[in-house]
């Protein structure tokens, strides 16, 4: 079989999970962390960019019918593609305070649950109480959209808390003092005082929603993802919004049938809590950080490879055989990827592959692995097209194609992740261009022209972000730039990853 035809039939998928939603059923890897979320044991999922949080979120949404058979209503709070619904809070609406957001989150969740009650025709008294009161408050329109729901909720919060800031966003009936057409006012504090108009608190809505879900033997999972891009242009609002969200998460822990599932970049939460702390954080116990073990990354690649029948025929195997054995998966990769010249014959090809995409925390992310293999595939096809033919070996991807691919992965990681997500570190990284990948504190002090204490703090920051790997003794620390970043910075690299 012509290897070029085989490689043309191969797809390693998309780097970003949102772009391959239709293939997630075939590609999804049930890591230990993923299984704990699927089993309902975890609510908060942390992980670095590209670690697979959105893939897990997408799997929960896509497999909603299976979860519903378990009595779980999977409710996305965010759009999987395009601009996030929370961008309205940044771009179009009056700047919210932390108090606004402490009110907004539970109201938005109550709206989403009520919409789910309508969709599933829950007609018991508790479900009717929730939907009827939100309808009477003009907070549950028949035309459903996440953006419209959130905008309605936020405008309402502003009306209740600081009505002078609404600026015509809600037309108020002069006789009732309520929004035009509303017959019930939703409040955010419980009170025993007599009122001239009917009032219902968000707390009571969620309590009755809990009872309705329990009666139907159901649990609502409210999924929040893409929070890293929701407040990208406003770090102050991001901090306020996430602190409010986690406080609401703790408030909702009293309910057994309403669960928030929050997917968040670990570095964002660390940054937010580093300065002011979060005393309530000790009560957040149902959490996990995604870390990809070697076997999971091998499985991820092989799942993609064996979707090609031509690959299976060329290597005389079947999809079920490969997926049933990690040994067979590693053997397949060894056959497909050329052993690098200069690498000892008994060295493991998978270890070598992962070494090139690990950051300074020694973690390899699926995003970089998929990017590397996609670039290598295109490079290999281009080489065969230029040379008009393939060699007689069994491998599909040559060392040359991988080295060229790694340059692009390195550049993308530096420019589109590190510089984009952490703009403030660019001034620390650019002086290292062309320098030795190993640096001591004195050498960094000279490059950065900073006092030694500031140099130490900056080096620690780069370690936290995975740009540096600390080496040597704590008393005289040194730092190493991982292979992942060296090509983009034109740093010298020895061994089988060197050009």
Q: What angle do CA 187, 192, 193 make, to 5 degrees?
A: 85
| Res 217: pLDDT | 96
DSSP assignment of 378-428 equals HHHHHHHHHHTS--SSS-SB-HHHHHHHHHHHHHHIIIIIIHHH-GGGHHH
Consecutive H or E run containing 261? strand 258-265
pLDDT digits (tens, 9 = 90+) for 41-63: 999 999 888 788 888 888 898 88
pLDDT digits (tens, 9 = 90+) for 143-196: 888 888 888 888 888 777 665 555 545 666 655 556 667 788 888 876 654 455
Distance CA 405, CA 373 (A): 8
Distance CA 411, CA 413 (A): 6
Beta strand 199-201 with 185-187 is: parallel
Sole residue written with tokens 């209503």: 73
**Distance of CA 457 to CAs 166, 410, 420, 452, 465, Å?**
44, 25, 21, 9, 13
Distance CA 1, CA 334 (A): 19
| Res 32: pLDDT | 86
- Strand-pair partners of 179: 172
Question: Residue 427's pLDDT band (boundaries 50, 70, 90)?
Answer: very high
Q: Is the predicted pLDDT of residue 24 greater than 80, yes or no?
A: no
| Res 374: pLDDT | 95
Instruction: Check residue 121 and report its DSSP letter.
Output: T
**Residue 97 buriedness (CB in 10 A; 0-12 / 13-18 / 19+):** middle
Consecutive H or E run containing 61? helix 53-62
Q: Is the predicted pLDDT of residue 369 greater than 50, yes or no?
A: yes
Percent of the chain with pLDDT over 70: 88
Instruction: Check residue 86 and report its DSSP letter.
Output: T
Average pLDDT over residues 406-426: 93
- If you average pLDDT over every residue of the chain, what do you get? 87
**Distance of CA 398 to CAs 219, 234, 348, 377, 383, Å?**
50, 44, 16, 9, 10
| Res 85: pLDDT | 80
| Res 419: pLDDT | 93
Consecutive H or E run containing 462? helix 452-464
| Res 499: pLDDT | 55
Distance CA 206, CA 210 (A): 6
Question: Residue 383's pLDDT band (boundaries 50, 70, 90)?
Answer: very high
Q: Is the predicted pLDDT of residue 19 greater than 80, yes or no?
A: no
Structure token digits, residue 490: 């034109």
CB 100 within 8 A of CB 163: no
Distance CA 244, CA 489 (A): 39
Question: Residue 267's pLDDT band (boundaries 50, 70, 90)?
Answer: confident
Distance CA 33, CA 97 (A): 34
Q: What angle do CA 134, 136, 137 make, to 5 degrees?
A: 65
pTM above 0.75, yes or no: yes
Q: Among 75-84, 156-165, 380-389, 401-410, where is mean pLDDT lowest?
A: 156-165
DSSP assignment of 303-336 equals HHHTT-HHHHHHTT--HHHHHT-HHHHHHHHHHH
Distance CA 435, CA 444 (A): 11
Q: Among 236-250, 311-325, 396-410, 453-467, where is mean pLDDT lowest?
A: 236-250
The beta-carbon contacts of 167-170 under 8 Å, at least 24 apart in sequence, are: 167/94
Helix axes 366-387, 399-412, angle to 10 degrees: 130
Question: Residue 25's pLDDT band (boundaries 50, 70, 90)?
Answer: low
Distance CA 462, CA 164 (A): 45
Average pLDDT over residues 17-23: 54
pLDDT digits (tens, 9 = 90+) for 287-304: 999 888 999 999 999 999
| Res 269: pLDDT | 82
| Res 490: pLDDT | 95
Tell me if residue 188 falls in helix, strand or coil.
Answer: coil
Distance CA 306, CA 319 (A): 5
Distance CA 457, CA 90 (A): 31
Q: Is the predicted pLDDT of residue 388 greater than 80, yes or no?
A: no
CB 244 within 8 A of CB 105: yes
Structure token digits, residue 29: 């890897």
**Distance of CA 385 to CAs 237, 338, 378, 381, 481, Å?**
51, 19, 11, 6, 35
Q: Among 182-196, 404-418, 467-481, where is mean pLDDT lowest?
A: 182-196
CB 288 within 8 A of CB 44: yes
Tell me if residue 88 falls in helix, strand or coil.
Answer: helix
- Strand-pair partners of 183: none
Average pLDDT over residues 13-26: 57
Distance CA 21, CA 59 (A): 8
Distance CA 463, CA 467 (A): 6
| Res 352: pLDDT | 94
Q: 10 Å Cβ neighbour count for 246?
A: 23
User: Under the phi-then-psi rule, with left for phi > 0, alpha for psi from -120 to 50, and beta for the rest, what region is 323?
Assistant: alpha
**Distance of CA 444 to CAs 335, 478, 479, Å?**
43, 9, 9
């Amino acid at each position: 079989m012509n290897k070029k035809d085989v490689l043309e039939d191969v797809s390693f998928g998309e780097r970003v999970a949102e772009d391959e939603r239709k293939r997630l059923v075939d590609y999804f890897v049930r890591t230990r962390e993923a299984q704990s979320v699927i089993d309902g044991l975890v609510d908060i999922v942390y992980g670095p960019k590209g670690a697979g949080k959105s893939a897990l979120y997408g799997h929960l949404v896509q497999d909603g019918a299976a979860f519903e058979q378990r009595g779980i209503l999977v409710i996305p709070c965010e759009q999987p593609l395009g601009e996030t619904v929370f961008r309205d809070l940044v771009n179009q609406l009056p700047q919210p305070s932390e108090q606004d957001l402490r009110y907004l989150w539970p109201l938005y969740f109550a709206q989403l649950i009520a919409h789910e009650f309508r969709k599933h025709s829950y007609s018991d008294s508790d479900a009717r109480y929730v939907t009827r009161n939100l309808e009477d408050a003009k907070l549950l329109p028949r035309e459903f959209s996440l953006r419209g729901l959130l905008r309605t909720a936020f405008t309402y919060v502003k009306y209740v808390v600081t009505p002078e800031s609404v600026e015509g966003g809600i037309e108020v009936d002069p006789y009732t003092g309520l929004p035009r057409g509303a017959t019930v006012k939703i409040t955010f504090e419980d009170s025993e005082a007599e009122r001239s108009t009917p009032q219902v608190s968000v707390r009571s809505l969620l309590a009755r929603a809990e009872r309705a879900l329990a009666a139907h033997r159901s649990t609502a999972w409210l999924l929040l993802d893409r929070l890293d891009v929701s407040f990208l242009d406003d770090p102050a609002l991001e901090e306020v919004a996430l602190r409010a969200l986690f406080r609401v998460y703790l408030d909702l822990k009293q309910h057994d049938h309403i669960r928030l599932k929050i997917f968040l970049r670990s570095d964002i939460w660390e940054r937010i809590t580093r300065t002011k702390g979060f005393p309530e954080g000790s009560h957040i116990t149902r959490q996990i950080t995604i870390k990809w073990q070697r076997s999971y990354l091998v499985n991820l690649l092989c799942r993609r490879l064996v979707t090609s029948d031509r690959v299976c025929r060329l290597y005389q195997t079947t999809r079920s055989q490969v997926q049933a054995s990690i040994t067979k998966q590693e053997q397949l990769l060894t056959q497909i990827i050329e052993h690098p010249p200069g690498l000892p014959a008994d060295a493991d090809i998978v270890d070598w592959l992962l070494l090139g995409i690990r950051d300074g925390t020694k973690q390899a992310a699926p995003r970089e692995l998929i990017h590397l293999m996609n670039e290598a595939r295109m490079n290999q096809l281009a080489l065969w097209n230029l040379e008009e033919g393939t060699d007689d070996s069994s491998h599909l991807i040559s060392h040359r194609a991988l080295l060229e691919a790694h340059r692009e992965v390195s550049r993308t990681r530096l420019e589109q992740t590190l510089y984009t997500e952490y703009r403030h570190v660019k001034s620390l990284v650019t002086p290292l261009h062309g320098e030795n990948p190993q640096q001591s504190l004195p050498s960094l002090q000279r490059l950065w022209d900073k006092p030694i204490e500031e140099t130490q703090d900056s080096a620690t920051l780069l370690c936290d972000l995975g740009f540096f790997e600390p080496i040597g003794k704590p008393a005289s620390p040194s730092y190493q730039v991982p292979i992942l970043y060296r090509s983009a910075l034109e740093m010298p690299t020895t061994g089988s990853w060197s050009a």
